């Protein structure tokens, strides 16, 4: 009898690109992939914060490099991808939210959210997949809000539902090439960007009432999940959403 062996969660010898990687969820993803052995190209728009984050990763012995990049600029994305060389993993964590009641949404906010959360995510996946020469993993950081609705979140929910749909279609098209495409869907994660939401007692009560595990998310909660999706441990997982939502979407 021969016992089965667990596929490796290690990423040694692989190259990954993480966008939105200078803070919060993106930084957590970058660190997690690097700790698993990948060389990580960490991309973000803000140079100072990016260099600081990558410097700390390097000081911790992790293999990382910085890439200043605005992912909404297609020409810049194409040039950057041509420059970084072959990639095995993409984690797109660049995103934004502008929360208002649906009746109060202004066109500029709608356009800005869709340009980053949907169009840039689409183009980035497209251009990375175009350059992948072998099996690979593309992870779009979506949200639980790609599966449900939320207060003052009509535009954000629309953008993340769109990400979920395009992920399924891309997974179907690129599966024969060995490219897996999935979404990672966190609940509310405590970061500097979400502090304004947690500072509102009514919204905090709504959040805490929805999370069945009784606590809000931490950046560390998404780190194991992204390594799973990037690694051979998820070799038969594509076109799906990995919920890291504390049970929010369970009902």
Q: For residue 189, is it within any domain?
A: yes
Q: What is the pLDDT of residue 186?
A: 98
- Total count of domains within the chain: 1
Expressed as residue numbers, the domain containing 134 is 15-243
Q: Which residue has the tokens 């979506």?
A: 142
Residue 122 among the catalytic residues: no
Q: What is the C-alpha to C-alpha distance for residues 206 and 184, in angstroms, rounded to an integer?
A: 22
Q: What is the 3-state secondary structure (H, E, C) of 140-192?
A: EECCHHHCCCCCCEHHHHHHHHHHHHHHHHHHHHHHHHCEEEEEEEECCECCH
pLDDT confidence bin for 29, thresholds 50/70/90: very high
Q: Tally the C-alpha atoms within 13 A of residue 230's C-alpha that lie toward its C-beta.
A: 35
With CA atoms as reference, report the closest residue to 109 among 122, 120, 99: 99
CATH number of the domain encompassing residue 195: 3.40.50.720
Q: For residue 186, is it within any domain?
A: yes
Residues 6+ apart with CB under 8 A from 238: 171, 175, 180, 181, 182
Q: For residue 167, is it within any domain?
A: yes
Q: For residue 138, is it within any domain?
A: yes
Q: How far is CA 75 from CA 50, 80, 81, 111, 118, in A?
A: 21, 9, 10, 19, 17
Q: For residue 227, is it within any domain?
A: yes
* pLDDT (average), residues 214-237: 97
Q: What is the pLDDT of residue 11?
A: 98
Q: What is the C-alpha to C-alpha distance for residues 204 and 80, in angstroms, rounded to an integer?
A: 39
Q: For residue 251, is it within any domain?
A: no
- Which one of the listed residues 90, 156, 167, 248 is annotated catalytic? 156
Q: What is the pLDDT of residue 194?
A: 85
Name the phi and psi angles at 42, rounded to 5: -100, 120
Q: For residue 89, is it within any domain?
A: yes
Residues in the chain: 251
With CA atoms as reference, report the closest residue to 35 among 231, 214, 174: 231
Q: How far is CA 140 from CA 20, 81, 103, 117, 146, in A?
A: 11, 17, 29, 10, 11
Q: What is the pLDDT of residue 157?
A: 98
The pLDDT mean for the chain works out to 96
Q: What is the pLDDT of residues 157-188, one digit of tens each?
A: 999 999 999 999 999 999 999 999 999 999 99
Lowest pLDDT segment from 61-65, 123-127, 198-202, 220-224: 198-202
Q: What is the pLDDT of residue 58?
A: 98
Q: What is the pLDDT of residue 232?
A: 98
Top pLDDT among 231 and 198 is at 231
Q: What is the pLDDT of residues 30-88, one digit of tens each?
A: 999 999 999 999 999 999 999 999 999 999 999 999 999 999 999 999 999 999 999 99
Q: What is the pLDDT of residue 191?
A: 86
Q: What is the pLDDT of residues 181-203, one digit of tens each?
A: 999 999 999 987 788 888 888 88
Q: For residue 140, is it within any domain?
A: yes
pLDDT confidence bin for 20, thresholds 50/70/90: very high
């Amino acid at each position: 009898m021969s016992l089965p062996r667990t596929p490796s969660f290690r990423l040694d010898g692989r190259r990954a690109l993480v966008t939105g990687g200078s803070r919060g969820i993106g930084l957590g993803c970058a660190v997690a992939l690097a700790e698993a052995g990948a060389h990580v190209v960490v991309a973000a728009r803000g140079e100072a914060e990016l260099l600081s984050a990558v410097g700390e990763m390097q000081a911790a012995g992790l293999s990382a490099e910085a890439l200043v990049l605005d992912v909404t600029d297609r020409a810049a994305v194409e040039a950057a991808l041509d420059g970084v060389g072959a990639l095995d993993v993409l984690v797109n964590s660049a995103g934004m939210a502008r929360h208002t009641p649906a009746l109060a949404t202004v066109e500029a906010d709608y356009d800005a959210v869709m340009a980053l959360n949907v169009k840039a995510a689409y183009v980035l996946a497209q251009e990375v997949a175009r350059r992948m020469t072998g099996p690979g993993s593309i992870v779009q950081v979506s949200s639980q809000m790609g599966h449900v609705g939320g207060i003052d979140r009509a535009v954000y929910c629309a953008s993340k539902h769109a990400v979920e749909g395009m992920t399924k279609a891309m997974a179907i098209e690129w599966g024969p090439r060995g490219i897996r495409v999935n979404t990672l869907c966190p609940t509310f994660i405590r970061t500097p960007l979400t502090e304004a939401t947690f500072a509102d007692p009514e919204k905090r009560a709504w959040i805490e009432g929805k999370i069945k595990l009784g606590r809000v998310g931490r950046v560390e909660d998404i780190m194991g999940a992204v390594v799973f999706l990037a690694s051979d441990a998820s070799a038969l997982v594509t076109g799906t959403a990995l919920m890291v939502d504390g049970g929010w979407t369970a009902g």
